[in-house]
Chain A
Amino acid sequence: DGGITQSPKYLFRKEGQNVTLSCEQNLNHDAMYWYRQDPGQGLRLIYYSQIVNDFQKGDIAEGYSVSREKKESFPLTVTSAQKNPTAFYLCASSTGIVNTEAFFGQGTRLTVV
């Protein structure tokens, strides 16, 4: 089945630790995105990548890092510099060309303990 797979579904992290969230897609999409959602809020863009080996900061990039070494993969690292990392993280992809309809993974819920 074609789609976007995020793992893990739930993640617990101790304060001061870095953690990496996985996002893989087999839709052959060029563009990939990471969003953060806080309770009762909309989604805010963290980072996005329109092509392999290139990515740009979104609206709330501080304390996060990404890489795009392969077209199908866009991992997000939440670093210890992120002051309030507990949130729901959603990964998306789109063709990024003419039809820019985006599709989302199932999300990772990160809790800092």
Chain B
Amino acid sequence: GIQVEQSPPDLILQEGANSTLRCNFSDSVNNLQWFHQNPWGQLINLFYIPSGTKQNGRLSATTVATERYSLLYISSSQTTDSGVYFCAVNRGGSNYKLTFGKGTLLTVNP
């Protein structure tokens, strides 16, 4: 099956710093999503981005499908950004299931 690798596994920042999270995947994909898992465990949808660039406030994401990677940018980080960020992909066609990476644990200190 498709492999998804996220880096770095852990990241510690001071409030106000910027960061870039990376997601590499081993095959072509029809769907790529970024999620933030909050302290209560819920997965919050950040971006649905199989290709191209999107921005939402301080967050933006870019997926280069031909090179099989996606980047999540967090600018001016806040303590509330802390948590685990997951990348998940889907190959499309008749199979809709998502395959997840192991996540990046982000800690933003005040």
Nearest chain-A residue to B50 (Cβ)? A100
Name the contact of B42 in the complex, choosing from A58, A101, A107 (C-beta under 8 A): A107
Q: A42-B102, A42-B103, A43-B86 are in contact. Are A104 and B43 (CB under 8 A)?
A: yes
Most buried by B among A41, A92, A100, A106: A100
- A48 and B1 CA atoms in complex are apart in Å by 16
A109 lies within 8 A of chain B by Cβ: yes
Q: A42-B86, A96-B96 are in contact. Are A102 and B41 (CB under 8 A)?
A: no
Interchain CB contact under 8 A, A101 and B33: yes
Name the contact of B100 in the complex, choosing from A42, A99, A100, A107 (C-beta under 8 A): A42
How many residues of chain B are within 8 Å of chain A by beta carbon?
24
How many residues of chain A are within 8 Å of chain B by beta carbon?
28
8 Å CB interface, A78-105 against B: 88, 90, 92, 94, 96, 99-105
Name the contact of B97 in the complex, choosing from A41, A48, A101 (C-beta under 8 A): A48
A61 lies within 8 A of chain B by Cβ: no
Interchain CB contact under 8 A, A100 and B102: no
Interchain CB contact under 8 A, B100 and A101: no
8 Å CB interface, B65-110 against A: 86, 88, 90, 92, 94, 96-103
Name the contact of A100 in the complex, choosing from B1, B42, B90, B101 (C-beta under 8 A): B90
- A90 and B40 CA atoms in complex are apart in Å by 12
Nearest chain-A residue to B87 (Cβ)? A42
Name the contact of B48 in the complex, choosing from A42, A58, A101 (C-beta under 8 A): A101
A31 CB, nearest partner CB in chain B, Å: 5
B18 lies within 8 A of chain A by Cβ: no
Q: A42-B101, A43-B100, A96-B96 are in contact. Are A106 and B33 (CB under 8 A)?
A: no
Q: Which residues of A contact B98 (CB under 8 A)?
A: 33, 43, 45, 92, 102
Q: Which 7 A-B pairs have the closest CB atoms?
A: A104-B43, A42-B100, A101-B48, A42-B102, A43-B100, A100-B31, A107-B41
List 6 A-B pairs, Cβ < 8 Å. A90-B43, A100-B30, A100-B92, A101-B31, A104-B43, A106-B41
